Amino acid sequence: MDDLQEAVSLAQTALDATPKNHPDLPLRLHYLANALETRYERTGSLEDLQEAIRLEQIAVDATPDDDPDLPHWVNELGTYLLHRYHCIGDFSDLQDAVGLIERSVDATPKDDDYVALRLNNLASALSTRYDRTGNLEDLQEAIRLAQTAVDVTPEEDPDLAHWLNELGMSLRARYDRTRNRVDLEEAVRFLRKSIDSTQEGDLGLPTRLFNLASNLSTQYGLTRNLEDLHEAIRLTETAVDATPEDHHDLPSQLANLAIHLSSRYDRTGNLEDLHKAIRLNETAVDDTPKGHSDLPVRLNNLVNDLSTRYDRTGNLADLHSAVHLAKTAVDNTPEGHPNLATRLDTLATHLSTRYEGLGNSDDLQQAIRAAQRAINTTPNDHPDLALRLSTLARTRSIGYEQTGNFDDLQEAVRLAQKAVDIIPKDHPNLAMRLNTLGVYLSTRYDRTGDLNDLQQAVRLAKRAVSATPYDYDDPDVALISINLAGYLSIRYDRTGDLDDLQEAIRLAKTAIDTLPDNHPDLGHWLNSLSIFLSSRYHRTGDFKDLQEAIQLAETAVAATTETHSDLANRLLNLASNLATRFDRSGTSHLDDIQQAIQLTQRAIDITPKVHTDLPHWLNNLSIYMSKKYNRTGNLVDLQEAIPVAQRAVDNTPEDHPDLAPWLNNLAIYLSIQYEHTHQQNDKAAALKHFSQSLDSHNAAPRHRIEAARRAIDLLVPDGDFDRAQLLAGRALDLLPLVCSRYLSREDQQYAIQQMSGLAAEASSLLLQTDNDPAQALEYLEHGRGLIIGYLIDSRGDISDLSIKHPNEADEFDRLRHKAFMPIRKEDPLETRRRLLEDREEAVRRLEDCLADIRKLEGFDRFLLPPSSEALQANATDGPIVVVNVTSISSDALIVRPSGIKHIPLPEFGISKANQYRSWGLTRSPSRLIELKETGGPNTFEQLLRDLWSDCVRLVLDELGFLYPASDNALPRIWWIGTGLAASLPFHAAGDHSPGSLENSLSCVLSSYTPSIKMLQFAREKTHVTVGAQSVLLVTMPKTPGEDDLPGVMAESQAIQEAVTTPHTVKALIQPSAEVVIQGLQDCSIAHFACHGSSDMRDPSNSFLALQGQSDLAADPLTVKTISESHMKQAWLAYLSACSTAENQISELADEALHLASGFQVAGFAHTVGSMWSSNDEICVQVAAIFYRELITEGGLAEGNRAVATALHTAVMTVREQNLRRPYLWAQYVHFGA
């Protein structure tokens, strides 16, 4: 520095000694100007720069036009003006600088030693003007000039490093405008070359290190290669260390080091990086003169870091400082400056953040104005326009969240959609723009319940994950993944599709595993995973999920500061899980529920009264209060819950999808209070709220159905059947929406369990009011057997359509196959996801195809539920009797072609039906053992006699079927049990003492069908001829994990003796399930002599036990596997096994999901099965007689009646030997045509 001071002094002395007319005056003016400008570069003294410009201008003015030194003086003057522009931002300085340097270049011969210097200076000036005006032509020319300067400079020239640096930075500027990654890659290459070309002692090295670091940081933003960021920090630290403390470039280098450290904090969550970045930014701002053009940039950087630290620590002082400094940055930026929009965008972001924290509406309004002004000052082709649209969208979304103004949300969606529409498809920020739009669509779904919004949010999030150019351990990727997980969880809540929830949990766990323990968002994501695990617990009952959910929620709350905007959500989630554990405990221990109430109240207390989620939280609080009442019986707890629930309802918009469940809760509390007080006002209010819930068309259908059923429970005890019946009819119309045909089988069963008995209750109510048996039958047929009905639809006969409209039939068949294609759980997750997406698309197209088919003449009811007249047409071969037992009434409906007759069953009440079920009449072998121990055979016989006298006899008497003339003339009858009557043995009812005809077996030839639709489907499959039949005979004398069945070999021998030429038998001993499925494709008759089992949790998993790969476990051939198969040659399946016609879940009784029905869906017109455990010896006898009767002298008894007759004969023969032991033979039943 001393040398520099002396140089200035000597130059000043020389100039002072030079006369005004001396020929060397311009040169000496130039020397002093150059010395002052050099001192300016070191100290940043604006006085030195101003004086240098004044002196250089005099030198230029004093130099003749033909003087060979004039281009040099002109170039220097232009350079000094460019420096002053960088200092104070006066655009006229920049314009003058460009003009002077252009004049210098024009006057410089191409072979001049200074041509490269002047080309480079002009490139720098044009690049700077581009920064100010955005005129791309300036930048393109700057790059051309810089490249020329490099090209004309020898590699050993010490100035080459400077020219390379200028070229690299110009390319970087063009990358910022066009986002062409080639420009950025070239910029990095030239900047590295610039550093490599820098000679020892070159004072420009720190600037070049700093520039390369800046570009590596930008490259990190694209690739998320953390090594780029680490190198950027090392280079900038080296540049800072090499820069004197009094150098005017030092603030710039400190600011850039802060930027890189802040970026690393965003990636790693290391708070020390953020603290250091703020300290560096504060120093950079303090050391930047007040009029300096870079001051707003440095203020902007400091603002962002302070705001980030606020997000992490909740320190409001940081947020207030951020807002103040952001305003200062805007105030210091002149109108028309290219960076004004960026600074306005930053101000809008932090004002909206402060509004979220403090709720000052003026902050939000200022944020909206600043964001809108940022957009207004951004050119339509600017690469940051999408970002600024997103900022404005965020401010409007925050406004919606705080005030509930739906217009704000609509505008947020519109702006976010526009941002997605304009951003290039290869832009690195495309993923975040897609993510943002998905967030707002999900929020709109929360408000409106429009499933299209949620589906679109899922698709956008999946697209965002695919569009992310980063590694999966990047926080941005994790953020998008956690949002996708959230949408899938919400969709699970709506549709019940368990795969969505499983995928949500997988995504959340993967995202969390990528985050460091100190990441600022870790608490939010832990809370989300806790929510997903809690949902799975509610579905599966796995207590480990609930315990893990509580642990995660506690960790999330502990990691959240008191001022954090998400504290309320985390408190509420922990409260919800504690309340669930309280429900699970089943004890009087109140700690969990007390804590849940306290946490929820705390969340409500810190939430603004206009917050859109407040009603939800009030509803939760009322639920916990009611749970406490249910445990303690203290009416005060219930009375505290009612006004809280009322407040939740009062603060919920009428079109909100959650209004229905909240109305239900309020109505339930009032109903309970009515039970205590008997005040009609309570009952009337409850009914009013249930009715409002049912009318909530945006609500999930299951909530509306619950409202109807709860209201019915209030109305029926008072005999108000008319109102109850109307509600039941409306609820029944919603049932297919709850149990969609496109859900997985497991999800369908779950949905049906929640709504069990609805159709039976609706039918009972209709018979009590209008006594309309036709409509009652339609209720039962349409509201029962939904799952089996969907399976039938997936493979039903479309021959009529094929004949009249072959193109439509082909399209329907193709889409039907794709839409119902099974997705196996053992398939890889990615495969299952792809297949599920394909199936969802096929479903959408199938619905359109169905709509088109129903427009065709004669096909208006294609695959729609049949009318009562169509149902009656299925009774041509014999009457169909539907027995329906509910808490409301017990009734039989006799279906004949001529009409439908209602038979009340006054003695067959709910208490007796429950006795039948609880005594084990249709239960597993262990229940039969218990039955014999507690009541013996006499009890069992009495059950059958009561079933006869109270039900079956009344039906047969009405039909005129009592005491038929002869066995050969026994009339056929089909039984359907519904409600509590499902699975009762109507075929075996009666007195079986010697000589008695007071029993079903003596009067009718009985068959069963789960539904009339199934009966019709079975009859469509009766295409077998009386020619040669192929019998598949499956025997399992030994079964892994089960008792041996020595009798099956005798059974096999008896069958083979009965089945004679031309028929063939293929015997499979100890086969696997896969071998059997293959064998079923080619047989017309299949006989299984093996163990069978009903699944208590999932009837679809009821199975025939076959040979596994080891002797440790059987290979199950399940109902689900069978029903998803398609047996084209199938005719008869004989299931000589335990529990093949049994469904042990009462909530799914009306679905008739058992092995016998599974074989019917697979294509077998006839199935013989067992309602309960079979005796090994009796199995042999019944099978031998059955086949002898069915196959006579090498022929096959003709017609559907033959199968029912053969079984009837076999059972009657065995019965004669065991009259007093009906539990040995009464389990054998025929299902089908």
DSSP letter (8 states) at residue 970: P
Rounded CA separation 1227/649 (Å): 53
Residue-wise pLDDT tens digits, 34-48:
788 878 877 777 888
User: Which range marks the domain in which residue 975 is found?
Assistant: 868-1007
Residue-wise pLDDT tens digits, 491-531:
888 777 888 999 999 999 988 888 777 777 788 889 999 99
Task: Give the 3-state secondary structure percentages of the chain, helix then strand then coil, rounded to 5.
Answer: 65, 5, 30
- Residues 262 and 187 both lie in one domain: no
Contacts of 47 by beta carbon, 8 Å cutoff, 6+ apart: none
Rounded CA separation 1163/1167 (Å): 10
Residue 234 lies in a domain: yes
Closest by alpha carbon to 32, among 98, 80, 99, 88? 80
Residue-wise pLDDT tens digits, 81-108:
888 888 878 888 889 988 988 888 888 8
Residue 331: which region, alpha, beta or left (left: phi > 0; alpha: psi -120 to 50)? alpha
- Residues 1086 and 974 both lie in one domain: no
**Residue 1105, φ and ψ in degrees, nearest 5:** -90, 115
Number of domains in the chain: 5
The confidence band for 1139, taking pLDDT boundaries of 50, 70 and 90, is: very low
Residue 722 lies in a domain: no
User: Does 570 have pLDDT greater than 90?
Assistant: yes
Among the listed ranges 63-67, 396-400, 928-932, which one has the minimum average pLDDT value? 928-932
Residue 321 lies in a domain: no
CA angle 965/968/969 to nearest 5° reads 50
Which long-range contacts link 236-243 to residues 24+ away (Cβ below 8 Å)? 236/209, 236/210, 236/260, 238/206, 238/209, 239/205, 239/206, 239/207, 239/209, 239/210, 239/213, 240/206, 242/205, 242/206, 242/209, 243/206
Strand 972-979 and strand 1030-1035: the pairing is unpaired
Q: Please compute the mean of the pLDDT values over residues 208-228 and round it to a whole number.
A: 89
Q: Please compute the mean of the pLDDT values over residues 678-691 and round it to a whole number.
A: 94
Report whether 1123 contacts 791 (CB < 8 A). yes
- Residues 147 and 211 both lie in one domain: no
Burial class (CB in 10 A: 0-12, 13-18, 19+), 885: buried
The confidence band for 1026, taking pLDDT boundaries of 50, 70 and 90, is: low
3-state SS, 312-346, equals HHCCHHHHHHHHHHHHHHHHCCCCCCCCHHHHHHH
Three-state DSSP class for residue 1037: coil
Residue-wise pLDDT tens digits, 345-374:
999 999 998 887 777 889 999 999 999 999
Rg (CA), the chain: 42
DSSP letter (8 states) at residue 881: E
pLDDT at 821: 59
1109/507: higher pLDDT:
507
> Which residues is 350 bridged to in the sheet?
none
Q: Please compute the mean of the pLDDT values over residues 542-558 and round it to a whole number.
A: 94
Domain boundary among 196, 218, 235: 196
Q: DSSP secondary structure string, 232-277?
A: HHHHHHHHHHTS-TT-TTHHHHHHHHHHHHHHHHHHH--HHHHHHH
Q: Which residue has the tokens 């066995």?
A: 967
Residue-wise pLDDT tens digits, 447-463:
777 888 999 999 999 99
Tell me the two tokens of residue 654: 């009428």
DSSP letter (8 states) at residue 198: P
Domain boundary among 1007, 1032, 1066: 1007
Residue 1076 lies in a domain: yes
Contacts of 163 by beta carbon, 8 Å cutoff, 6+ apart: 116, 120, 146, 149, 150, 153
Q: Please compute the mean of the pLDDT values over residues 244-248 and round it to a whole number.
A: 80
Tell me the two tokens of residue 1060: 């004679």
Residue-wise pLDDT tens digits, 10-33:
777 777 767 777 777 777 887 787
- Residues 242 and 93 both lie in one domain: no
- Residues 1093 and 1223 both lie in one domain: yes
pLDDT at 753: 56
- Residues 991 and 1110 both lie in one domain: no
- Residues 137 and 237 both lie in one domain: no
Closest by alpha carbon to 466, among 454, 452, 477? 477
pLDDT at 1144: 43
Q: Which residue has the tokens 């039909």?
A: 959
The confidence band for 968, taking pLDDT boundaries of 50, 70 and 90, is: low
Tell me the two tokens of residue 1230: 């025929």
CA 861 to chain centre: 34
Domain boundary among 264, 294, 324: 294
Q: DSSP secondary structure string, 85-127?
A: HHHH--HHHHHHHHHHHHHHHHTS-TT-TTHHHHHHHHHHHHH
Count of Cβ atoms closer than 10 Å to residue 747 Cβ: 20
Burial class (CB in 10 A: 0-12, 13-18, 19+), 289: middle
pLDDT at 900: 95
Count of Cβ atoms closer than 10 Å to residue 202 Cβ: 16
The confidence band for 809, taking pLDDT boundaries of 50, 70 and 90, is: confident
CATH number of the domain to which 66 belongs: 1.25.40.10
Report whether 517 contacts 558 (CB < 8 A). no
pLDDT at 929: 33
pLDDT above 90 covers a percentage of the chain that reads 33
Query: Model pTM greater than 0.75?
Result: no
Rounded CA separation 520/262 (Å): 13
Residue 611 lies in a domain: no
- Residues 121 and 209 both lie in one domain: no
- Residues 1095 and 1178 both lie in one domain: yes
Rounded CA separation 563/567 (Å): 7
Longest Cα–Cα distance of the chain, Å, equals 151
User: Does 984 have pLDDT greater than 80?
Assistant: yes
Contacts of 888 by beta carbon, 8 Å cutoff, 6+ apart: 716, 721, 761, 764, 765, 768
Contacts of 321 by beta carbon, 8 Å cutoff, 6+ apart: 306
Rounded CA separation 784/752 (Å): 9
Burial class (CB in 10 A: 0-12, 13-18, 19+), 926: exposed
Report whether 1057 contacts 1189 (CB < 8 A). no
pLDDT at 1137: 63
User: Does 1024 have pLDDT greater than 60?
Assistant: no
Tell me the two tokens of residue 109: 């011969």
- Residues 1058 and 1152 both lie in one domain: yes
3-state SS, 352-376, equals HHHHHHHCCHHHHHHHHHHHHHHHH
pLDDT at 965: 60
Strand 1132-1136 and strand 1166-1170: the pairing is parallel
Tell me the two tokens of residue 1035: 């025997």
Tell me the two tokens of residue 866: 């049949």
Residue 630 lies in a domain: no
Three-state DSSP class for residue 17: coil
Residue 503 lies in a domain: no
DSSP letter (8 states) at residue 999: B
Calculate the alpha carbon distances from 476 to 412, 480, 954, 981 in Å.
21, 6, 71, 57
- Residues 276 and 145 both lie in one domain: no
Three-state DSSP class for residue 953: helix
CATH number of the domain to which 1085 belongs: 3.40.50.1460
Q: DSSP secondary structure string, 1158-1211?
A: HHHHHT-SEEEEESS---HHHHHHHHHHHHHHHEETTEE--STHHHHHHHHHHH
Report whether 352 contacts 398 (CB < 8 A). yes
Residue-wise pLDDT tens digits, 131-159:
888 888 999 999 999 899 889 888 888 88
Count of Cβ atoms closer than 10 Å to residue 681 Cβ: 11
Residue 159 lies in a domain: yes
Contacts of 234 by beta carbon, 8 Å cutoff, 6+ apart: none
The confidence band for 707, taking pLDDT boundaries of 50, 70 and 90, is: very high
pLDDT at 933: 40
Three-state DSSP class for residue 520: coil
- Residues 947 and 967 both lie in one domain: yes
Q: Which residue has the tokens 């902007």?
A: 300
